[in-house]
Structure 1
Amino acid sequence: MRRDWDVLGIDTDARLVQKHSDTLTHSAVADCTDPEVLHQLGVHDFTSAVVGIGTDMEASILVSSNLLDAGVPNI
């Protein structure tokens, strides 16, 4: 955000999203393992994504795959 980039933070934990909502351009409570959710959030408009799911390897791989399918070039 210091570089004037739009930042979308997504998590399934509403408290965590609320905690960071004031410091991010956009934030949402959502399950990114669902490709339709990513589409609705407009992730295809972003050029980069960071997947930070450290507790569930399967979910991390699935979200990364969904982002790739959505056309996000840098994951």
Structure 2
Amino acid sequence: MPDRSNSKTAPGPLRSPPYDPADPHATQRLLDDTWYTLDHVHTRLLKLAEGFQATTGARLASIRHDRPQPIRDELSDEI
């Protein structure tokens, strides 16, 4: 599986609302990572590290995996 850490295209969620105001944590709906940024964090970003097989790529992915979690947690506290 190729490393995607240097992708040059911005995903749709960067141009979308950060979360669904009616259900920010998707407890009553399916996650929609094509529309909501917070859903994108859950469905894509927090799963990227699982696919890296090269030692260096896996190490860097693990470091990058930890970065969005505090931001997600802080956003959740503010919602």
TM-score normalised by the chain length of structure 2: 0.32
Higher gyration radius (CA): 2
Higher strand share: 1
Higher helix share: 2
TM-score normalised by the chain length of structure 1: 0.33
